[in-house]
Structure 1
Amino acid sequence: MSGHGAPVRRDRHRIRQEGRQRRRRTLWIAGAIAAVALLALGGAVTAALLGSDAPQAAPGTQEPEPIVFPEDEPAATPGAEPCTTVRVLSSFENAGMVERLAEAYAAEPRDVDGACVEVVTAKDKSGVAAEDAAVGFTEVDEDERPTLWIPDASSWLGVAREAGGSANVPESGTSIGSSEIVLAMPESLAAAIGWDEDPPTWAEVFETSEDEAVWEDLGHPEWGEFKLGKTSPLVASSGEAAMLASYGAAAGSVADLSAADIADDEITDEVRAHELATSHYMATPEHFLWHARQSEDSGGEAADFLSAVIVDEKSVWDYNRGISSRDGVTRTEGDPPAEQLVPIYPSDGYYVSDNPAVVLTGGWVSDAEDAAAQDFVRFAGTAQGQAVVRETGYRDLNGELDPDVAEVGGLAESADGGLPFPAPQVVVAMHDAFADVRKRAQVLFLIDVSGSMGDPIESGDTKLAAAKHAITLALDHFAAGDDVGLAAFSAADDGKITPGEVAPVADIVDTRDDFEQALGALKPIEWTPLYAAVDRYATEQGERFDPDRITALVLLSDGRNETAAPGVTEQQMLGTLEELHHSTPVLVFTLAYGADADVDTLRAISSATGAHYYDATDPTEVDEVLGDLVTSF
């Protein structure tokens, strides 16, 4: 962001710097102790990632001997049918590795207790899977519930157990591979700031992200402000790592972060200041990297969208070889980007995604399924399984990378600053605190109420009724201090946008009843003045722009621009969004609702503002899709 509000931001930055200088006078000793502790922690971290059976070094001794991975021992012939089904639930981030492991396991005959084995994979966001695990996957039929859960980090096991899932989720799992969670930067930016040669501490990362003049001072005003990308800590492991690192930096030690640190008012104030530098949150690392690639493909550069993003090493490898994903589900393979990402390993340590495999202990898991799942986990630790782990972009249980992966990703051959995620109570305390410290939102929901919104959908509701229900659920995401409003658009023959704003943008805690009453009163009308509505309400949101808030428009439309008379053109609308993007930025998140939605235009609208497009062309999925969207705030 540049221009509007710069003097206010500079003053805010000066105040923060003065506060940090005062704090450093009392924290430098803790920082020195943490540095020494990191050296001592090396062996302990390795042991934590490899599991309790890994060889461990005694204090003051050399690193443990590398594991010699056993050879796989498939059966001579498959067991009898029907096969025992092992349903494996992974995270979006590690799904490719888990799918390849399942393929490799199935390539050889398997016989577990006399039966053949079929491994079926599925994936979900880490936070969603943890919530489901905590309640025993009750929204899924018993014969469809997972047998084996492989989140990308052990932190989610603790989150699920702390939320009541101790009867379903074991306390710990068996790591099948790892990926460091690092700071990734376009290579020209990393070189300009010097972090490619001299990695910063996390405190330096967050301080830099709050300095709106950093690139200008380094001779690159064209890069704008320092744009730090973070995923939501309630959804993704990289988001957890980012928020925990923020608390650790404020507390003086990332390695020794405690629940007491998270409860500390002074530390909380500094973390809250860190969050003001966040443009917005996203659900997965792929969302950020997709936008960076889109910036380059549209004639710009990745720096137009981000300066740095906190992601896992595997995602850096994917990006550098031309793999991208708009939604974390579908993957697109293209040419490598013109400018590659450089992984930065902060000098005071970085968290590690350890990909723990846990056989769930809920009553739906039979003894036969348990045994078959254990055999699949055994295979993951064999020489053949670990080869798959390396080939899919992960470090094996010795911390080794495939040489080609390391070269393409620019990854450190050996990373010795890895930290296990903190104890479950620390992670849960951070989750609970996020609503308080996150950057507040200023959001206007803009809803299409054209005639087609009265059409019925498969659930039996009309499109509009289902949209109302989804928006009502989405309001639960917001908290005190979030300003949320509602506008709707259609037109009769006179072309005037109607009904317009029906609930003002105001603190949702105070106005929710009025918001829901206005939402409930909406009815389908006639025309679809899409371009005029976006042009008008994006401009109004721009007038409300506040650099300390995520200023956004959430557009839900089921059709194409159709009016009774000529009005605002697509080119005029996109011109308005482009102008706003460089003055008073408004993120326009678009949700294509129904099969007739103008997907191309909705994608163009979101891309022009650096926001994300969401697909609810199957209108029965609108609850889930809109719930995903609001994690950006």
Structure 2
Amino acid sequence: MSERGDVPEWLPRDSPRQARGPALQPPPPSWRPQDSPAPEATRSPRHGRDSGGGSHALPPRPRRGRGLLIGPLAGAIGLTLLAAFGVYAFASGSGCGGDDAVTLNVAAEPGVAPAVTAAAGRLNDANDTVSGRCVRAEVTVTEPVAVATLLSGRGVAGVTRRPDVWIPDSSLWIGPAQAASRSTGQTRITPLGSLAASPLVVAAPRTLAAQLKGQGTQPSWADLLKAASGSAAAPGNAAIPAGLVKLQVPDPNRTGPGMATLLLANALQARSPKGTASFTGVARAVREGVSPSVKAGFASFRRDRQGRYPVALAPEQAVHEYNVRGPGEPAVALYPSEGTLTMDHPVLVLGQDGVRERASRLLTSALTARPTQDDLRERGFRTPGGVAPGSFSEKTGLDPRPPRVLPPPAPTEVQRTMQAWARLSLSIRMLSIIDVSGSMEDEVAPGITRLQSTVRTAQQGLALLPDDTELGQWVFSTDLQNGQDWRELVGVGPLGERLGSATRRQLILSAFAQIRPKENGDTGLYDTILAAYRTMKRSYKPEFVNSVLLWTDGKNDDPGGPSLRATLDALRREVDPERPVLVFMYGYGKGVDAGALRQIAEATRGDVLIADTPDEVQQKFLQAVARRVCAPDC
């Protein structure tokens, strides 16, 4: 923040409301070497260019921000890391080989990877040399988050070494990646300039764009985010009616455009008198509209059942790519009046190997050469200076004039914003329910009953939850209280809230110690699930992920309760996309009706885990909870 504490340093205090401004700027000096032009090299008639043994001054190390954003980066990966780092696009060209060759492993983000691969092929055909050794390049199509995670020291499936050259979508990755690498071996990151530019825009269906234009509405980030979040605290003048649009944002933990969206939202909330509430509302809207990638954001680019138009926050190039496919309704890029951030696709050398660094400069020469730049223009990218492809026009939904581009935020600003996102996106509001039917008294290990094992696991999970988690505790069997099969032990609320002389956390721990199985009690599973679902839906809080967590060792055997079909029908009728409540269930033992549990979970977009032993129950549950709540510190 600035000394005034109201506006981040990177956002101008008096942004004029104009749709157009100066051309895109190259990366700031702290992120780009002062000697960014590739060094001259000579080509011998037989051996191509040789960068020789002569030394070139290395650019200064980029300015580093404090702190580390390992948690959100790592937590975003899940089971998709192999896909993120597993698609190889080997460059064409015979090149050279053998043990004496200098082979550059290049990780390029999907948008520019085809052009980078073609450039690498031309480099390979040239048989250029460094210190008498020929140079070749191999390109891997790589999501930026995979490299960032690798630099943090966390393993990535199928990857045994870091790349020599990294081309992410945005320089926003540099700060977190540098901070991560400092803790795992001082991997040096040397920027060699920007490959291509693509500003972040608002992609809207042509019908919506025409409607806004007809109303004389000049789109702004403030108006868009206010309309999408439905938050009265959000800045903006309601030029776009609430409920008209549905926000679609690529995952901020995985993509540069997603990060840029949060940074813009954070900058806007800094100007709002309701700052934090404003960002919370926007973050919630972003969370509800997150898609795993930029491309996925266009997969359902049509009005939803509520009549809302999709608006995808995406790089300009993605709009070009979508329209080239000839969709039924093309997208139009809207350029917000405050300005925007740009995806600058920096070329980064990782490590301090002098030979590879010089070889990387040869690759950079191939990347800045006319054939590569023409290839990138054809794919919808601007030059680093902001010059648009010749195909950009009103007819294609893209404005060739360079939009106003805001200066990139400092790495510390990126860190603070992403940590705030991690906290907001992981907020939990949960009703926990434990089966106390007679079979829970069965031993599952010497001296340990199934109920004791379940309670111990729940106690350990409780210790991982922060105080702002909202939690409540029920038990269920049959006929526990006034003819109903469930009983509330502690109502749902913040764990840190004081209720009399104790906090809710302490009351839940005390309740755990007093839970006993009901002798000869049966399992009133279905009506308990319906009651819990309705309770959480009725008290729904949009700033949380609202859920039910139920532990059971059996199947429904309550003759007086609803059938599975009636339960599923009721859930499907009552499920509300605007007030989602997820039902998660842990089945413990051989007597579980896994099929029924999975159908119930599917109806509410929840999940089911089945375990047979105390160790398995504990391991699966605690791992799930830890991944959920420990970011940004894990």
TM-score bracket, shorter-length normalisation: 0.5 to 0.7
Counterpart in 1 of 2:112? Answer: 97
Shift of the alpha carbon at 1:543? 1.5
Judged with a 3 Å threshold, the aligned counterparts in structure 2 of structure 1 residues 130 and 279 are, in CA distance, closer, same or farther, namely same
Counterpart in 1 of 2:371? Answer: 384
Whether the aligned pair in 1 keeps the contact of 2:547 and 2:581 (CA below 8 Å) is yes
Counterpart in 2 of 1:130? Answer: 148
Whether the aligned pair in 2 keeps the contact of 1:153 and 1:355 (CA below 8 Å) is yes
Judged with a 3 Å threshold, the aligned counterparts in structure 2 of structure 1 residues 489 and 228 are, in CA distance, closer, same or farther, namely farther
Counterpart in 2 of 1:109? Answer: 124
State the SS of the aligned residue for 2:142: strand
Q: 1:238 aligns with which of 245, 248, 257?
A: 257
1:283-334 deviations in Å (ceiling 9; x for gaps): 96446974774585xxx63865765343323444455567xxxxxxxxxxxx
Q: 2:341 aligns with which of 345, 351, 354?
A: 351
Whether the aligned pair in 1 keeps the contact of 2:106 and 2:137 (CA below 8 Å) is no
Q: Distance in 2 between matches of 1:269 and 1:105?
A: 51
Shift of the alpha carbon at 1:103? 5.6
Judged with a 3 Å threshold, the aligned counterparts in structure 2 of structure 1 residues 200 and 368 are, in CA distance, closer, same or farther, namely same
Pairing 1:157–2:174 present: yes
Shift of the alpha carbon at 1:541? 1.7
Shift of the alpha carbon at 1:352? 0.8
State the SS of the aligned residue for 1:358: strand
* Counterpart residue identity of residue 586, structure 1: P
Identify which range, 499-508 or 372-381, moves more after superposition: 499-508
Whether the aligned pair in 2 keeps the contact of 1:183 and 1:343 (CA below 8 Å) is yes
Counterpart in 1 of 2:86? Answer: none
1:204-257 deviations in Å (ceiling 9; x for gaps): 33444455799xx99999x846544455655543333223223333445xxxxx
Shift of the alpha carbon at 1:117? 3.1
Counterpart in 2 of 1:34? Answer: 15
State the SS of the aligned residue for 2:124: coil
* Counterpart mapping for 1:328-347 below 5 A: 336=327, 338-347=328-337
* Counterpart mapping for 1:387-466 below 5 A: 387-402=374-389, 410-434=397-421, 438=424, 441-444=427-430
* Counterpart residue identity of residue 402, structure 2: A
Q: Distance in 2 between matches of 1:372 and 1:533?
A: 65
Q: 2:544 aligns with which of 526, 537, 550?
A: 550
Judged with a 3 Å threshold, the aligned counterparts in structure 2 of structure 1 residues 163 and 54 are, in CA distance, closer, same or farther, namely closer
Q: Distance in 2 between matches of 1:448 and 1:388?
A: 60
Q: Distance in 2 between matches of 1:445 and 1:308?
A: 34
Whether the aligned pair in 2 keeps the contact of 1:445 and 1:484 (CA below 8 Å) is yes
State the SS of the aligned residue for 1:240: helix
Counterpart in 1 of 2:268? Answer: 249
Q: Distance in 2 between matches of 1:472 and 1:319?
A: 48
1:528-566 deviations in Å (ceiling 9; x for gaps): 99987765543232011134x2343378999xx999989
Q: Distance in 1 between matches of 2:200 and 2:575?
A: 33
Whether the aligned pair in 1 keeps the contact of 2:470 and 2:495 (CA below 8 Å) is yes
Counterpart in 1 of 2:200? Answer: 181
Whether the aligned pair in 2 keeps the contact of 1:444 and 1:552 (CA below 8 Å) is yes
Judged with a 3 Å threshold, the aligned counterparts in structure 2 of structure 1 residues 109 and 236 are, in CA distance, closer, same or farther, namely closer
Pairing 1:272–2:289 present: no
Higher helix share: 1
Shift of the alpha carbon at 1:599? 8.9
Whether the aligned pair in 1 keeps the contact of 2:252 and 2:259 (CA below 8 Å) is yes
Whether the aligned pair in 2 keeps the contact of 1:542 and 1:585 (CA below 8 Å) is yes
Q: Distance in 2 between matches of 1:292 and 1:471?
A: 43
Shift of the alpha carbon at 1:87? 3.6
Whether the aligned pair in 2 keeps the contact of 1:490 and 1:528 (CA below 8 Å) is yes
TM-score by length of 1: 0.60
1:51-96 deviations in Å (ceiling 9; x for gaps): 75689xxxxxxxxxxxxxxxxx998852435765544445xxx324
The percent of aligned pairs where both chains have the same amino acid is 19
State the SS of the aligned residue for 2:199: strand
Q: Distance in 1 between matches of 2:484 and 2:144?
A: 38
Counterpart in 2 of 1:581? Answer: 576
Q: 1:80 aligns with which of 76, 82, 98?
A: 98
Root-mean-square deviation over aligned CA pairs: 6.3
State the SS of the aligned residue for 2:351: coil
1:435-478 deviations in Å (ceiling 9; x for gaps): 67x478453388999x9xxxxxxxxxxxxx9xx999989997x7
Counterpart in 2 of 1:9? Answer: none
* Counterpart residue identity of residue 313, structure 2: I
Whether the aligned pair in 2 keeps the contact of 1:209 and 1:228 (CA below 8 Å) is yes
Q: 2:287 aligns with which of 278, 281, 303?
A: 281
Judged with a 3 Å threshold, the aligned counterparts in structure 2 of structure 1 residues 165 and 539 are, in CA distance, closer, same or farther, namely same
Q: Distance in 2 between matches of 1:340 and 1:274?
A: 31
Judged with a 3 Å threshold, the aligned counterparts in structure 2 of structure 1 residues 412 and 32 are, in CA distance, closer, same or farther, namely same
* Counterpart residue identity of residue 258, structure 2: G
State the SS of the aligned residue for 1:80: coil
Structure 1's unaligned 5+ residue stretches are 1-22, 56-72, 253-266, 323-334, 452-464, 607-612
Counterpart in 2 of 1:540? Answer: 535
TM-score by length of 2: 0.60
1:23-71 deviations in Å (ceiling 9; x for gaps): 99x9xxx98843399988546458879975689xxxxxxxxxxxxxxxx
* Counterpart mapping for 1:497-576 below 5 A: 505-508=492-495, 535-547=530-542, 549-553=543-547, 568-569=563-564, 573=568, 576=571
Question: What is the count of residue pairs matched by the alignment?
Answer: 525
Larger radius of gyration: 2
* Counterpart residue identity of residue 547, structure 2: L
Shift of the alpha carbon at 1:154? 0.9
Counterpart in 1 of 2:164? Answer: 147
Pairing 1:313–2:304 present: no
Whether the aligned pair in 1 keeps the contact of 2:167 and 2:347 (CA below 8 Å) is yes
Q: Distance in 1 between matches of 2:524 and 2:122?
A: 55
